[in-house]
Structure 1
Amino acid sequence: MGLRANMTAWASNQAARRSAPAVAARSAHQFVDKAIDGFNGFPGAREVARKHLERRRDVDHAIRDLIEQHVRLAGVQGFVANVGGVVTMPVAIPANIAGIAVLHLRMAAAIAHLRGYDINDPRVRAAALMTLPGKDGAAIAREGGLPASPHEVAVGKTEITSAMLERITTRVAQELASRIGGKHATLIFAKRVPVLGGAVSAGVDAYSTWSIGRYAGRQFPTHVMIEQE
């Protein structure tokens, strides 16, 4: 009986290993799809882009307002944690990190949409995802074997496979986790003062959102036509 149990356990482990890449790829797709297309209580990139453009009637002004909206949302810690609880990254990181990543990805995709990119295109989705670590993070991500800059991915002809999307998502998540971990270390001292810790954390998230919004704006120049395969 012991041998049979061990063989069964070994077979289960092997099956789990074989299915792990597919599960990770599905998790990556789920994260990207929910962040860009939206879910209950969280409008997608097209919807928020449309509302800002209807109100401002100008793409650049709409993008400015879009970034400001996401900066405000990033400062609301409860909202960010709530979003993170709904959409999980394909690596084990806290919900608040997933939450800020969802906000940033929707913002980047909305900017791309306003600039004329097809956010249904897997290349554009991958490019929006690559903006999350910001300018410095993108260079680090390339060292991990990712495609070139987000802009080059968006306008290029390289097919974005499920495996590639999973690799990009995991690498971006690792970079975000590293940065947020550094932020939390800094907040150890701030948290000794009542209220100050939350205020500093919200401020850091708000600033990172503004910075990534500006970076995404540079990676998706105005009126670039995406070539169809």
Structure 2
Amino acid sequence: MGVTRSIGRQLAPRVVPRVTQLAPGLSASFVREALHRALDGAGPFTGAAALADKLLRGTDGDVDAAVKDVVDHHIRYAGVQGFATNLGGLVTMTVAVPANITGLAVLQDRMVAGVAHLRGYDLDDPRVHNAILVTTIGEDDVHALVKKGKIPAPPMALATAPMHDPSVDALVSAEVASDLITRVAGKRLATTMGRRIPGVGGLVGMGTDGWSTYKIGRYAEEELLPRRRR
């Protein structure tokens, strides 16, 4: 995850216009819509709380085991969607980029929300919404953003703030949208480099998405400490 983000930052001035052209809906509103899909689910795609509760029943009420299952479940799915959306050549790029952005954002949001739910956080709370979104940026980048004053606090502090500050919503959404563009820019270069070898683009996408989801999942486990359920 760190490698693709590093590449993405270096290429951002050249790649961002292209990425936003391919996925014009990538914005703060997109970030919130992805979160809502992750929380509510749609059709066969189960919402975060429902999936987490199902996995909790499978562990006979062992919350720690269920948290691990939530993370592992989403790592597998992230790898599959990363492979599928990065197999095509440049002709399919206009479809693959938006699909990959949407799929990964929703999956990672649902994973973090599932962890938060199992740890006792209220998924209807807007403070928790911000904590979920910030977690998906990743630990290292969150620390850097807090240090620069671009976001007010790390996820745990956002989730447990004394009251909801609506101005934080816009800050968080903007940073998450920027992070998604950076990730896509870095991964797009990596997959394009391997497109002449059949299947290589898909394998890069699978590894990148699976690894980034693993890192975010572990960050969620460490950052979102258990809260007493009311």
**TM-score under structure 2 normalisation?**
0.75
SS of residue matched to 1:200: helix
Aligned residue among 53, 62, 68 for 1:64: 68
Question: What residue number does 2:8 align with?
Answer: none
Aligned residue among 177, 180, 185 for 1:176: 180
Q: Deviations over 1:107-153 (max 9, x none)?
A: 00110110111111111111011011111221343336212000110
User: 2:191 touches 2:205 (CA, 8 Å); kept in 1?
Assistant: yes
Name the CA shift for 1:80/1:192 in 2 (closer, same or farther; >3 Å): closer
Q: Deviations over 1:157-210 (max 9, x none)?
A: 14141x532331121111121022112212222222111210121111011111
Q: Does 1:167 align with 2:179?
A: no
Could you say which structure has the larger radius of gyration? 1
**Higher RCO (CA 8 Å, separation ≥ 6 residues):** 2
Aligned residue among 31, 35, 40 for 2:38: 35
Name the aligned partner's letter for residue 30 of structure 1.
Answer: E
Question: What residue number does 2:203 align with?
Answer: 199
Question: What residue number does 2:111 align with?
Answer: 107
Question: What residue number does 1:215 align with?
Answer: 219
Question: What residue number does 1:156 align with?
Answer: 161
Please, what is the CA RMSD of the aligned residues? Answer: 2.4
SS of residue matched to 2:153: coil
User: 1:109 touches 1:119 (CA, 8 Å); kept in 2?
Assistant: yes
Rounded to whole Å, the distance in 2 between the matches of 1:106 and 1:113 is 10
Please list, as runs of the form range in 1=range in 2, the aligned pairs for 1:12-31 lying within 5 A after superposition: 28-31=31-34
User: 1:74 touches 1:209 (CA, 8 Å); kept in 2?
Assistant: yes
Question: What residue number does 2:122 align with?
Answer: 118
Q: Percent identity?
A: 39
Question: What residue number does 1:134 align with?
Answer: 138
**TM-score under structure 1 normalisation?**
0.75
Name the aligned partner's letter for residue 150 of structure 2.
Answer: G
Aligned length: 191
Rounded to whole Å, the distance in 2 between the matches of 1:61 and 1:105 is 20
Name the CA shift for 1:80/1:48 in 2 (closer, same or farther; >3 Å): farther
